[in-house]
Amino acid sequence: MALSKEQSKSLVSQFGANENDTGNTKVQVALLTARVQQLTTHVQNFPKDKSAKRSLLKVIGQRKKLLKYLQNTNLETYRALIKELGLRK
């Protein structure tokens, strides 16, 4: 159910400074966005899975907090990331 190693590596290399830059806020938001997309399709297929719904809401909350932090610290990076990930803001 979690992201595969290949997906994680590609997101880290795309949004991070290097392959080991997993602590970067942009990388974390990108990983959480991929997880949200995965959980959304699961919840649509299995609407009675309450634990998956709760997990989805939890991941969305984490992503929201990170985006708020990024918006307050570096507005240009925030806007570029929102545009690149296709999130509406």
| Distance of alpha carbon 76 from the chain centroid | 18
- The arithmetic mean of pLDDT across residues 81-86, rounded, is 94
Q: What is the pLDDT of residues 67-80, one digit of tens each?
A: 999 999 999 999 99
> Is it the case that residue 89 has pLDDT exceeding 60?
no
Query: What six digits make up the tokens of 57?
Result: 């809401």
Q: Give 1 or 44, the one with higher predicted confidence.
A: 44
CATH numbers and ranges of domains, the chain: 24-85 (1.10.287.10)
What pLDDT score does 38 carry? Answer: 96
Question: How confident is the prediction for the chain on average, in pLDDT?
Answer: 93
What pLDDT score does 52 carry? Answer: 96
> Is it the case that residue 1 has pLDDT exceeding 80?
no
